[in-house]
Amino acid sequence: MLPEGVRLCAVSKFHPASAIREAYDAGQRIFGESRVQEILEKIPQLPSDIVWHFIGHLQTNKVKQIVGKVAMIESVDSERLLSLIDAESRKAGVQTNILMQLHVAKEETKFGFLPEELLSFFKEKRFESLTNTHICGVMGMASNTDDEDRIRKDFAEIASVFREISEDTALGLRGFDVVSMGMSHDWPIAVEEGATIVRIGSSIFGDRNY
Ligand SMILES: *Cc1c(COP(=O)(O)O)cnc(C)c1O
């Protein structure tokens, strides 16, 4: 169903470990969770080769709990959070893979860097002080709307910010190659616009009971 080069992050938040196990047995390996407590409870119940992605807003006081436990934190939405992840990773002696979350949607979550903020973060090389964090790319969400043109514009903006950063050879970035965007209702558009990871929950696991 997904073209080559696009990975699926199965978003299992609010679903029990047994549902993850079922998807795991069917071959799925990357799972996304958005709450620290929930992911920490699930990790020990499930196979150790699961590739966990944290995709929710991460409170700074919970960074310490999550560092070293997940393969990637997709939702880094401030420089303060980034510095903390780096500091905790250094203390723990691990390297943490992260994505920078972009805020382009018009009425969705307020979390994330504005495109111009993220571009100046890179242009000013403010990543150079990081020692234990690898910035692998960007993550974002489109506006929550049925308007396909709006959704496409949002994804195109995320992809364009990504390209501007990744094609700037002066930055000397290595392994900056991930564009995580697209959910159950809009992932085909995200793929057309250049997603390399799509994060799909309800289409796989059914509706969530919050
Ligand atoms: C819940 C969630 C998803 C998955 O949404 P679905 O509509 O269930 O596919 C994707 N990304 C983030 C950041 C989420 O919180």
Contact 20, 31 (CB under 8 A): yes
What distance in angstroms lies between residue 116's CA and the mean position of ligand 1's atoms? 25
In tens, the pLDDT along 75-133 reads 999 999 999 999 999 999 999 999 999 999 876 567 999 999 999 999 999 999 999 99
**Residue 72: predicted pLDDT:** 98
Best mutation site among 146, 151, 183 for ligand 1 pocket (most ligand atoms within 8 Å of CB): 183
CB-ligand 1 contact for 109 (6 Å cutoff)? no
pTM of the model: 0.97
Q: How confident is the model at residue 154 (pLDDT cuts 50, 70, 90)?
A: very high
Closest to 111 measured CA to CA, from 70, 81, 134: 81
**Residue 110: predicted pLDDT:** 79
Contact 52, 38 (CB under 8 A): no
**Residue 106: predicted pLDDT:** 77
Give the position, in ligand 1's atom list, of the atom nearest the Cα of 9: 10
**More confident of the two residues 169 and 109:** 169
**More confident of the two residues 207 and 141:** 141
**Residue 108: predicted pLDDT:** 59
Q: How far is CA 32 from CA 12, 61, 94, 136, in A?
A: 6, 20, 20, 16
Give the position, in ligand 1's atom list, of the atom nearest the Cα of 200: 9
CB-ligand 1 contact for 183 (6 Å cutoff)? yes
For the residues 164-184, what does the mean pLDDT come to? Answer: 96
**Residue 207: predicted pLDDT:** 87
CB-ligand 1 contact for 184 (6 Å cutoff)? yes
Q: Is the dihedral of CA 11, 117, 159, 177 positive or negative?
A: negative
**Virtual CA dihedral for 120, 143, 56, 63, nearest 10 degrees?**
20
In tens, the pLDDT along 14-62 reads 999 999 999 999 999 999 999 999 999 999 999 999 999 999 999 999 9
CB-ligand 1 contact for 160 (6 Å cutoff)? no
| Alpha carbons 16 and 20: distance in angstroms, whole number | 7
